[in-house]
Each structure stands twice: as structure tokens, then as C-alpha cells.
Chain A
Amino acid sequence: MKTQELLTLQGLHQYLKSLPAIILDKLYNHPAACLATFRELSQLAKHYVMRTLFTIQAIPTSTISAWVNSQHQKEHQAALNQLTEIRIWQSHTLPGGMQGIKLNESFRANLKTALCGGGESWYGPQLSKADKYQFTSEALDLKSKERWECVLHYLVGAGEDLALSGEIQSLLNNCGLVSKNGITAAGFQFLLLDRPSQVWYILLQYLDSAESLGMDLVEILSFLFQLSYSTFGQNYSTEGLTQTQLTCLQHMREIGLVVQRKRKDMKFYPTQLAINLASGAKQEELDHSKSSGYIIVETNYRLYAYTESPLDIALVALFCEMMYRLPGLCVGLITRESVQQAFTNGITANKIINFIRTHAHPEAKKKVTTPIVPSTIIDQLYLWELERGRLSCSDGVLYNQILSSSDFEALRKYADDMGVLLWASPAKRLLVVNRDGHNHVKHFWKRNKQKD
């Protein structure tokens, strides 16, 4: 269940909220981290921060609530909560005894630095020099895509997993996307996410596991934020990075967030995957990197996948029986067995249909009159899914040997009103109540008896 929850958990703010106060305060010692946190705030909260950025004394809470129209107090409250949750605003008692609010001092100092300049460069005093072997932006895109696909390959178990180091492998194993039997439901859901969300999810898992690897969370976070605000196509020097950050750099290099020529090379290039990671940049920027669709499904349950990528083929093979493999084309058959197999792995019919829709071949999308996925296929997938739901189990308590039918009726009515009745048979005077309701029904029965 944990992975299910984690897959819906998104956004930097929720993550920061879960961090202890000490780590948060340390994190605000870096301009990049402050900038990233700032960008994640709601519009109103951003304005609040800007208004208090250059005001040194504490501001009374009543003044702040007067900034907002009376009909928008709800938004005001939300913004206020957001800011206090991650300790950007701290409550402060004014000299007159009024409640006031003050901006976190280190947050203020570092956001000012990011905004107006001053302080030390993010990358230490060393200016990076022009690289003799400058990577072109296409080369960077290609390299990062290659690395990221390695991760995805590992998830679908398409071999080639040797390219990943043990640390990254165990990270992927631990985050519940893969189990011993292959990809899990959460894993499939993960594959359907857009690229930035995927990266973000993996990074959250990485941060969670960082402490167990003996790495300092604050250092990693500020390094990642730094990466996300760097310029694409620009090389940066590894000088001035701490040991932890260097290890992190190698991990990021492995999943394609950073390109480095050699392990010992002093320069690295952040890739598109890393840039704007924390600034709330979503799909639109990275859409072009997504390959166009390749799947056509026919009413005879045949699925044509115009692809040569082992990853794409492995994905399709999760729910269909592969028949032929031709150059540039794979043909599979959606059968009851193959779909049932997918269901047992936790993949739902909806997920399969969505997958086919999002990866549909341009030719399939062209025809306006016919749906992308034929309706017979959709219906059949739902029917097959329903087959699994013919029996459902729930825990319950059986009441029997009830002497009079009036007692039985009273009991049945009570349980029914409470919404805890699972099954009842008036002829046999049998009653099944679910676990949660058992106590209530028992008490009711005792009370009833006493009255008699």
C-alpha cells in the first residue's frame, strides 16, 4: 500500500513539509534551495514572501490579513499555512504583545542573494573554463535519454541491467516499483507518468534512502537544487563540491541527470532532465523528448507496435502475447491469459487502455470516426477485469441461535441501519456482521436483553 500512496505524492512542498525543522533550517542556507522552495509556493504565498523580503521587523498578523480581500480569506489562510508549515514564516510576538510574523532569517538572506547578487558563487570561487570537447545540446539530450532508459529497462526487466550500479539497483528495488516477479502495479503506473514526474519520483526515493547510505540530506538537496537552476549546455566544475555531493554526482550521472566525460573529469554538464526539476516545470518543456506513439490495436485483438526499442516492446509484452518480431514492427495478441496475467500483477484495465491511448500511433489517431482503441477491446478488457471480481472476501462475525424472530428482526434492522450487515437469512435466523460493527451490535444485543 505504501507505494500506492507514494506514487500520488508529488511536489516539493509536500516533501519539505515532511522534513524535520533542523534540516529545513539548514537547507535554507543555500540560495538555490530558497529559490526552489519559493517557486513551489502558491501565487499568494509568493507575494507574501516578496512583501516581507525587505522588511526587517516583524509584521502583525492583522496587517497581513488586511492585504487580502474579505472574500478571499480562504486563500489567505492556505498561503499562511503553507508558509508556516515549511518554516519560511515564523510567528513572533511583537513588543506590544500582538501576534506577529517574521520571515526566516537565513531564508531571507539567501533569497536576497539569489535575487540581488552578492555572497559566494553557487559553484565555489572557481569559474568554469571553456571545454575543449564541448558537448552539443543534442549530444547531451541523447546521453541523458540513454541513461534514463537504462533505468526504465531495469524496471521492465528487459535485460541490460548490468549498466546500473548496485546502489541504483537497490534503490529501484526498494522503492516498490519492481518485485521478484517483475514489475509491480506501482511500477506500471510509474511508467505511465510523464518524464519529469518520473525523475522527481525517483529522486524523492533517492532522498529517502540517502540517509541510510550515510549521506547528508542537506548537501544532496542543495546540490540538486543547484543543478536544477543551472544553464543547459554549460559546463560546471566539480571543484568545491563536498565528498557527499561528488557521490551524488556519480549517482545522478548514472540516471542521466548529469553528463560527465569520465569519472575523474573535473567538469560536468547538467541535462534537461535535471534543469527546472524543482521549479514546477512540467510536461510541456519535455514533451518533444517523448517519442511519438507506436501502437495500433485492431478489433481482432491484434496489437501492432511499430518500434524497435526493447523497452517499448517489454512494456507491451506486459499485457499481451507477443507473436512476431519484424524489423521495426512487433505483433502481439491480446488474450484472456495475457491480460489476466497483467491483472495479477496489479495492472488494471483502465491503465492498459490509457497506455494504449497515450502511445497510439499517429495513424490510429488520424481517423476521427473510429476510436483509438476499438470499443470491443475496451469492453472485453473490462469484462475480463470483472471476472476477477466475482468473489470478494470480507471478515465478519456470524450470529446464530437467535431464539425469536422478533429478536432477529430487531438485530437485523439495527445492523442494517448501522451499515454493517453483510448477510442475513431470516429463515435460518443467521446474521453476518462485519468486524468493525461487531462491537456495536454486541452491545445493542446486551442492552436489549437487559430491557427484557
Chain B
Amino acid sequence: MGTRRSGENLLILVIDTNPLAWLPFAAEMDFTRYIENIVVYINSHLMMDHRNSIAVIASHVNKSCYLYSPHMDNWIKNTNSNSTVNIAKDGRHEELSHINYIIETRVKELVQEMATADIHNHVDQDLRNKGQAKSRILVIKCTPDTSFQYLPIMNCIFTAQKYNVPIDACVIEKDSGFLQQACDITGGIYLKLQSPSGLLQYLLTAFLPNQSMRETLILPPKAKVDYRAACFCHRELIEIGYICSVCLSISCKFVPVCPTCQTHFTLRIAKKKKKA
């Protein structure tokens, strides 16, 4: 066949599994449906080419963990010695149902484990697979940003940019400044959905094409990015502020000790001016 083989594509999917943040959308699509939608999207990605692979990371309340990674194929064998489990019970492709089983079980475990209700967004992007030539990251998120994680996220974005891994984002209802920046810097696609209904169709249309296909297809245009940073002390968007020279954290007023990295600042410029 004359088609160009795109080679191996690794998709790292970061999904928001915070059931509390999902509450406002529950009327339109409950949490189970949301996970099902994502599972179908994962299956579609794997179906595109037999060399495609996937890693799923759940960003949960206060923690994040791998739901599935290519190294986890043996997981099922360790947890369940009954070998009949992974055989397709229905008309699904066996490989897919195997992966789906792992993901579903893990989500169940995770939701049951949940004890605290401390809501904050925890987007932890693990670039352990950065050696892969053609990987990309997709973040699906409905919880609002917290500036608490400004630094790890920014580090993540620049690492991704360095390794030429685009970060795509699909946010629901509320815009995320961090992800907007992430997509803009790494050349990914940013898409904001007004409501979660039709999530799967959006995912399939906008986020299924891999890097090589993106030149051909017309995809959502780049949105205007709000590059204003939020200050760390009051979480307000500011245009001019003070930046820590060590960890680059931002504050709207002068502080003697950096709240993030505890560096002590001495206002040398101010002193010099006084002498003169």
C-alpha cells in the first residue's frame, strides 16, 4: 500500500478523576459515562495502528497515579490468577478489552479509596517516556487551576517543549490559564467545551489525529492566550509584579522571604539608592 506509515505513537492521557469536580456536570453526563467516553477514545487511538500505545494517568484528589502504562500488561496476571478474566466476553477486540478491564478496575479502586475532599487540581505530567520519538500528551480536565502547582507545571511544559512533545488540552467549562500556555508553548491543541455532552465526538475529531496528520486536517484554531501570570500570594492575574530570582515564583507585593523556596531577599537596590 502506498500509505505512509506513521510509526509508533505514544499517547499519554491525563484524566481528571475528581468526582467532586465532576458534580456540576452530573446532570448531563455522570462520572461513569465520562470514564466510558474516555475508554472509547483510548480504544480508538489504539485501533488506529497496531503500534500505537497508551499511558493513562489519573489526576485525583491530592494524588496522581498511573491507571495504565505499557509496562502494566502483566498487572492483571499478578492480581488475578484466574486466567479466564481477560478473554473477551463480547464482540470487542481482545487487546482492547484487556486494557479496558485494567482501567475500569483501577478507577473503581481509586474512587473507593477517596477519603478527603480537598479539591485541588493536580496535573502531574510524567515525562518518563520522553525518549519516545513520537509521543504526545492529552489532558482532560474539569477542575479549576490552582497556582499552588505553578512551578511543577511550568517545568513540565518546558520539558515537553524541549523533547518536542505537544501537550493538548480539553477543558470543560472553565478556561485553564496553565493549559492554554502549555498548548501554546508546545504547539498542541487547546479546546474548551461548554458542556461535557458530546465529549467523545470532540475527542475523536480534534484529538485523535497524531502529529503527522495534523498538517493535513483542519483542527481547532489557536486561541488567544492569556499570558498573564497569577501571583502566588493572592492568586490574582497581574501584569507587573515581583519575581523570585531562584524559583521564579511571582508575588504582587514585595516580600522579604520567598513563600515558595524560602530564599531571603535583601533589597540592595533600595539601599544603594539611599546612599546615593
Contacts and interface: CB of A to CB of B under 8 A. Distances in A.
Interface of A: 10-11, 13, 31-32, 35, 38-44, 46-47, 50-51, 53-55, 66-69, 72, 75, 110, 113-122, 127-130, 229-231, 234, 276, 279-281
B48 interface: yes
A50 B204 contact: yes
Interface stretch (B183-191, B205-213, B249-257, B263-271): B205-213
A146 B209 CA distance: 42
B213 A40 contact: no
Contacts of B3: 41-43
Given A10-B1, A75-B216, A121-B91, 6 more contacts: A51-B204, A115-B96, A117-B100, A118-B90, A118-B91, A234-B87
Interface string B80-116: 0001100111111111110010000000000000000
Given A13-B1, A39-B50, A68-B218, A127 B208 contact: no
A127 B92 contact: no
B217 interface: yes
Given A31-B93, A115-B96, A66 B40 contact: no
Contact of A68 (B5, B48, B93, B216): B216
A69 to B, nearest CB: 6
Contact of B204 (A54, A121, A279): A54
Given A43-B6, A68-B218, A115-B96, A120 B90 contact: yes
A363 to B, nearest CB: 33
20 contacts: A43-B212, A44-B217, A46-B48, A47-B213, A50-B48, A50-B204, A54-B201, A67-B218, A68-B218, A72-B215, A75-B216, A113-B91, A115-B40, A115-B96, A117-B90, A121-B89, A127-B89, A130-B83, A229-B94, A230-B94
B5 to A, nearest CB: 8
A42 to B, nearest CB: 4
A66 B218 contact: yes
B92 A116 contact: yes
B217 A67 contact: yes
Interface of B: 1, 3-6, 40, 43-44, 47-50, 83-84, 87-97, 100, 200-201, 204-205, 208-209, 212-213, 215-218
B90 A119 contact: yes
A279 B50 contact: yes
A72 B213 CA distance: 11
B218 A39 contact: no
B218 A69 contact: yes
Given A50-B204, A67-B218, A230-B94, A281 B88 contact: no
Contacts of B96: 114-115
A15 to B, nearest CB: 11
Contacts of B5: 280
Contacts of B40: 115-116
A130 B217 CA distance: 47
Given A46-B48, A129-B84, A113 B92 contact: yes
Pairs of residues from A and B, 4 with the lowest C-beta to C-beta distance, nearest first: A119-B91, A113-B91, A42-B3, A117-B92
A13 B49 CA distance: 16
B86 to A, nearest CB: 8
Nearest to B50: A279
A51 B203 CA distance: 10
Contacts of A115: 40, 43-44, 47, 92-93, 96
Interface centre among B6, B40, B92, B215, by most chain A C-beta atoms within 10 angstroms, is B92
A325 to B, nearest CB: 43
A40 B3 CA distance: 9
A74 to B, nearest CB: 10
A63 to B, nearest CB: 11
A72 B93 contact: no
A318 B161 CA distance: 57
B11 to A, nearest CB: 14
Contacts of B212: 43
Nearest to B36: A116
Contacts of A72: 215-216
A117 B97 CA distance: 8
A31 B217 CA distance: 28
Contact of B87 (A35, A38, A46, A127): A127
A39 B215 CA distance: 21
A190 B85 CA distance: 42
Contacts of B100: 117
Contacts of A127: 84, 87, 89
B213 A43 contact: yes
Contacts of B84: 127-130
Contacts of B87: 127-128, 234
A213 B64 CA distance: 59
A113 B88 CA distance: 12
Contacts of A231: 94-95
B43 A116 contact: yes
Contacts of A120: 90-91
A35 B216 CA distance: 24
B193 to A, nearest CB: 16
Contacts of A10: 1
A114 B47 CA distance: 9
Contacts of A122: 88, 91
Given A54-B200, A54-B204, A115-B43, A11 B1 contact: yes
A438 to B, nearest CB: 39
Nearest to A76: B216
Contacts of A54: 200-201, 204
Contacts of A116: 40, 43, 92
Contacts of B97: 117
Contacts of A13: 1
A69 B1 contact: no
Contacts of B216: 44, 68-69, 72, 75
A54 B41 CA distance: 12
Nearest to B100: A117
A51 B205 contact: yes
Nearest to B89: A121
Contacts of A110: 91
Given A279-B50, A280-B50, A47 B88 contact: no
Contacts of B209: 47
Contacts of B93: 31-32, 35, 114-115, 229
A50 B204 CA distance: 7
Contacts of A118: 90-92
B168 to A, nearest CB: 15
Given A11-B1, A115-B44, A130-B83, A47 B217 contact: yes
